[in-house]
Amino acid sequence: MADSLQGAPELALEWHRAGRGAALATVVQTWGSAPRRVGAQMVVSGDGQLEGSVSGGCVEGAVMLEAMESLETGKGTLLEFGVSDGDAFAVGLACGGTIKVLVEPVGAVLSEEVLMELVAARAARKAVAYICDAETGGGTLTSEGFEERFRMDRSGVEEDGRFVAIHNPPLRMVVVGAVHIAQALVPMARIAGFDPIIVDPRSAFGSEARFPGETIVDEWPDEAMQQIEPDARTALVLLTHDPKLDDPALHIALKSKVFYIGALGSTRTHGKRVERLTEAGFSDAEIARIHGPVGLDIGAASPSEIAVSILGETVRVLRKGA
């Protein structure tokens, strides 16, 4: 999956429509210490421009040449690179890994209509899977089935030989409480691939000066959460210690599909939080979704260390489940 909305599928459609030609190259299988995950993509134009990566720089040149040839022949092709292959070693894949890359010329193999649907789904934050033959390409989209792949954000080849490319919406992290920990957490989260959203009705805290260039919602948390519409690609982190701010956001999050909920506070503070939520009618299973005290137990002391523990726990839940 591309890391942002202006990713390989969007560029492929743009270049194809501009008459430049475009081929999508996608990592469909890996073995050993391959440098990129299955589903990583790059796009190559007919005039030799490339964007994205399938190996972190090791085999991009070779893939580009094959992609330009596929644009001429109008056929999809499956490429394999590994340290045991002399050609692959020559282009630098000497990390002990092997990758298979599927190249699909837009129009001839990957239809423009399917690509348009994919780009529209990504823009609408709709999770979709692109399914095709792992050797020849040319597939369709679906939002049904593959629940585990969607949850784990994991593309891959099925037993029947079909390749399933998962295109999930970008990750978001909603941070309630524009406090000092948030000042460390927000830039870390952005580096890790999250789009941060800061929620705090207190203008002295949630200011542009404290969070330059970031999205700040200065509404009360329940109103902000309704605007944000949290989904299965959203993490919620509560940092205020104040039930008047934390609890309204919790009430909405616990009824949503957010994949992670973390709340700052001691074990005693969390115990009181559990009591309030129980009185409000939430079940034990719903309340158990909250990670409190928030973060991995790494002995964190400073705001930055606490931010590291929070981000680490968020990623662990994303990749391994609760």
Whichever domain contains 264, its CATH number is 3.40.50.720
Per-residue pLDDT at 252 exceeds 90: yes
Structural domains in the chain (count)? 2
152, 35: one domain = yes
pLDDT reading at 156 higher than 80: yes
% of the chain exceeding 90 in pLDDT = 78
Tell me which of 35 and 41 has the higher pLDDT: 41
149 and 25 assigned to the same domain: yes
Residue 2 lies in a domain: no
Domain boundary among 143, 167, 191: 167
Q: What share of the chain is helix, strand, coil (3-state, %, to 5)?
A: 35, 25, 40
Looking at 147, 167, 187, which one is the last position of a domain? 167
The last residue of a domain, from among 167, 199, 230 = 167
Tell which residue, 259, 296, 252, has the closest CA to residue 277. Answer: 252
Its domain, for residue 229, covers 171-320
Q: Are residues 33 and 100 in the same domain?
A: yes
- One domain for residues 249 and 145: no
Residue 227 lies in a domain: yes
Residue 216 confidence (pLDDT): 96
- Based on the domain organization, do 113 and 252 belong to the same domain? no
Cα R_g (the chain), whole angstroms: 22
Q: Residue 260: what pLDDT? A: 97
Residues comprising the chain, all counted: 322
> Is there a domain that residue 294 lies in?
yes
Does residue 138 form part of some domain?
A: yes
pLDDT of residue 2: 37
pLDDT at residue 7 in the model:
86
Higher pLDDT, 180 or 58: 180
Question: Does one domain contain both 21 and 136?
Answer: yes
Same domain, 177 and 127: no
For 311, phi and psi rounded to 5 degrees? -65, -40
pLDDT score for 30: 87
In a domain, 101, yes or no: yes
- Cβ(21)–Cβ(105) below 8 Å: yes
Indicate if 263 and 205 belong to the same structural domain: yes
Q: Which two tokens stand for residue 37?
A: 């995950």
Q: Determine, yes or no, domain membership for 85.
A: yes
Helices marked H in the chain — which ranges? 8-17, 60-73, 86-90, 112-123, 147-152, 180-191, 221-228, 243-253, 267-279, 284-287, 303-320
Angle at which helix 8-17 crosses helix 112-123, to 10 degrees, equals 130
Is 84 in the same domain as 219?
no
Name the average pLDDT for the chain.
Answer: 90
Q: What is the pLDDT of residue 35?
A: 67
Assess whether pLDDT exceeds 60 at residue 143. yes
Banded pLDDT at 96 (limits 50, 70, 90):
low
**Within a domain: residue 243?**
yes
One domain for residues 198 and 143: no
Do 123 and 198 fall within a single domain? no
Say what the pLDDT of residue 82 is. Answer: 75
Is 145 part of any domain?
A: yes
Together in a domain, 255 and 177? yes
Q: How far is CA 263 from each of CA 9, 124, 233, 237, rounded to the nearest angstrom?
A: 36, 29, 18, 6
